[in-house]
Amino acid sequence: MGLDNDTFQQVLNSIDRFVDRRLIPAEDIVEAENDIPADIVQDMREMGLSGFSIPEEFGGLGVSLVQEVKIMQSIGRTSAAFRSLFGTNIGIGSQGIVMDGTETQKQEYLPRLATGEITASFALTEPDAGSDAAAIRMTARADGDDYVINGTKRYITNASRASIFTLMARTNPDEKGAAGISAFIVPTDLSGITVMPADRKMGQRGTKTHDVVFEDVRVPASAIIGGTPGVGFKTAMKVLDRGRLNIAASSVGAAARLIQEALSYAHDRKAFGKPIAEFQLVQAMLADSQTEYYAAKTMVEHAASVFDEKGKAIEEAACAKMFCTEMVGRVADRAVQILGGAGYMAEYPVERFYRDVRLSRIYEGTTQIQQLIIARQMSRKFKEG
């Protein structure tokens, strides 16, 4: 259902002000220290950013997906580290519990996720299982009333900050592919879990990703999301469809910021006696970026409306994720070009955005995976007539 329009607009206006007055001024600190200042972390929690997609009955705001993507467009205007901090709580870390969890699991975890008291991480990717998520090797072997988990997860966002992992593991080694995979809620303080040092990345400083090693980690059968083994892959795919729209919306927000920075510079910078914004070739780059931004914004909001109406938007989410993340890469490239030598300098935010947005075309399913999903959905509908 989401919030009524007036209430939501108040929420969105508040977030816009927070981004402009609190987060954007702190971007250089995050970049320099590779971390988010503790006082900003607390401010984000107090604003309710950790729980706006969690239902109201569990302490969240319960926004619709259309409303969520508008919020993420606002957050996307600043450093990716800020979105990453709470993104797993409102997205892939919590939504498996929201969608498929038992009532007990929802009551135990969702209220604390909504307040930011705890952080969830989504643990799917492995050293040999990324795009082919059905190929995961992590095992969860039944042992009486428990399961014993062994294996390694890779590139796990917020692993060092997390209190729980929503984790995919193979409970039936005889079942190949997706059928043998189950989803678990695993507290991060259990014996046998080792979070490895943070990854060094091309961009997105301030975000934290890690390998996580599980050695004979014992969890009760009640830790299986929904209580039913063997359906974890379906949970993961539902979560990723929603997460793809989250990433798409963030990319739209980043494009808006890049266009703003490029337009401002083009009016300030003079060459041959006049602002470069008056040169037609610069105008062409600005116009191309604005047009693609408008198309992407329209696409992601429409895809979200389909999800709100039907409870799924497989093809629409894949289209939006592919187009929006490819779009922001082109916009970032043009922004650097418009700024010229200044665009290559770290004192201007377009340099950071140029590096940060490159990851958007990879996580939550690469562009090539989105192409496969789209084509398969097209063929399925064609065969159904």
Please list the residue range(s) of the chain that carry CATH number 1.10.540.10.
Answer: 5-115
- What gap in Å lies between CA 75 and CA 53, rounded to an integer? 14
Q: What is the pLDDT of residues 86-114, one digit of tens each?
A: 888 888 788 899 999 999 999 999 999 99
Please list the residue range(s) of the chain that carry CATH number 1.20.140.10.
Answer: 234-384
| Nearest C-alpha neighbor of 221 from the set 179, 175, 169 | 169
What CA–CA distances, in Å, run from 249 to 130, 285, 298?
Answer: 22, 22, 10
| Nearest C-alpha neighbor of 186 from the set 212, 155, 154 | 212
Please list the residue range(s) of the chain that carry CATH number 2.40.110.10.
Answer: 120-230
234-384 homologous superfamily: Butyryl-CoA Dehydrogenase, subunit A, domain 3 (1.20.140.10)
- What gap in Å lies between CA 145 and CA 150, rounded to an integer? 17
Name the band, by pLDDT with cuts 50, 70 and 90, for residue 151: very high
Task: CATH number for 5-115: choose from 3.50.50.60, 1.10.540.10, 1.20.1250.20, 3.40.50.2000.
Answer: 1.10.540.10
Q: What is the pLDDT of residues 290-316, one digit of tens each?
A: 999 999 999 999 999 999 999 999 999
Q: What is the pLDDT of residues 340-356, one digit of tens each?
A: 999 999 999 999 999 99
Contacts of 373-376 with CB under 8 Å at 24 or more apart are: 373/314, 373/315, 373/318, 374/315, 374/318, 374/319, 374/322
Q: Which is catalytic among the residues 31, 316, 364, 384?
A: 364
Q: Look at residue 89 in the predicted model and tell me its pLDDT.
A: 84
Q: Given a cut of 90, is residue 240 above it in pLDDT?
A: no
Count of beta carbons in the 10 Å neighbourhood of residue 341: 7
Q: Look at residue 376 in the predicted model and tell me its pLDDT.
A: 97
Give the DSSP H or E segment for 219. Answer: strand 209-220
φ/ψ region of 173 (left if φ > 0, alpha if ψ in -120 to 50, else beta) reads alpha
Give the CATH architecture of domain 120-230. Answer: Beta Barrel (2.40)
- Name the amino acid, one letter, at 333: D
Q: Look at residue 237 in the predicted model and tell me its pLDDT.
A: 84
Tokens of 158: 């917020």
- What gap in Å lies between CA 136 and CA 178, rounded to an integer? 9
Query: Is residue 364 flagged as an active site residue?
Result: yes
Q: What is the pLDDT of residues 188-206, one digit of tens each?
A: 999 999 999 999 999 999 9
How high is the mean pLDDT of the chain?
A: 94
